[in-house]
Amino acid sequence: MTRPIRVLVAKPGLDGHDRGAKVVAAALRDAGMEVIYTGLHQTPEMIATAAVQEDVDVVGLSILSGAHMTLFPRVLALLREQGRDDVLLTGGGIIPKEDMEALKAQGVGQLFGPGTSTADLVDFIRTWFAEKESQPT
């Protein structure tokens, strides 16, 4: 890698459970990535703005509230509106498999459920980033 992968970890909506997001942020940081954690109760607009301002490669949303079918598409749309369709939007939480598939069809990256190894997430992001960096501009 020529530079560290920059990741924004966010907790959108009213869900106040951020232990998982903090574990993920620490694992990504331990893997050598630059991590920005936005904290609780972020709106999609706040997340997309922070992603653009911080010039991140990846946005990871942690959603346990059940609002994933609203929040992921909204953040993705806002990133695209701001010209950042090159950002990987991924995340995890309590998301049914059929919803994961529907979100993937809309352009969201792989999503991770409870019990997923943080190594799997790190590997996914590294693989995505390596493929992105190898593509001609």
Render pLDDT for 9-40 as a digit per residue (tens, 0 to 9).
999 988 888 899 999 999 999 999 999 999 99
| pLDDT tens figures, 72-105 | 999 999 999 999 999 999 999 999 999 999 999 9
* β-strands 34-37, 58-63 pairing: unpaired
Residue type, 14: L
- Of 31-35, 48-52, 105-109, 113-117, least confident by mean pLDDT is 113-117
Query: CA separation (Å) from 79 to 45, 73, 83, 110, 114?
Result: 9, 10, 6, 17, 26
Name the one residue in this structure whose structure tokens are 């790190």. 122
Domains in the chain, ordered, with CATH? 6-134 (3.40.50.280)
pLDDT of residue 137: 67
Residue type, 126: R
